[in-house]
Amino acid sequence: MNKRISSPKMTRDVLRQYQFTLRKSLGQNFLIDENILTKIVDAANITKESFVMEIGPGIGALTQLLSEKAKKVIAIEIDERLKPILSETYRGMIMWLCISMMY
């Protein structure tokens, strides 16, 4: 994926394309500030030898940047409605798990 999913327009487009609505019960909100995302990744000192575990990837804004730096990214998500977004957007780039929970 070449385009940054973290831009406000791309985030809106992805949410609209997959008819995804946020759930307050899960505290869902998606980080769309490229500067903040870059600072997070830079602060983590990730290298091409790094294995990274991301909890709650959402639609994958941080995931995208992590996958560009790390050897492997494992993303764990509890909202199964995000499965199509993550699997289609990051096919082959990340390993992700969906943990079913009662919420």
pTM comes to 0.84
pLDDT per residue rounded down to tens, the chain (103 residues): 557 888 889 999 999 999 999 888 888 888 889 999 999 999 999 999 999 999 999 999 999 999 999 999 988 888 989 989 988 888 777 776 777 654 4
Distance (Å, whole) CA 2 – CA 71: 18
Instruction: Specify the number of domains making up the chain.
Output: 1
The DSSP secondary-structure symbol of 1 reads -
Residue type for position 98 = C
| Domain region containing 15 | 8-98
Whether residue 88 lies inside any domain: the answer is: yes
Whether residue 2 lies inside any domain: the answer is: no
Distance (Å, whole) CA 75 – CA 63: 8
The SS3 call for residue 52 is strand
Whether residue 93 lies inside any domain: the answer is: yes
Whether residue 103 lies inside any domain: the answer is: no
Whether residue 46 lies inside any domain: the answer is: yes
CATH of the domain at 60: 3.40.50.150
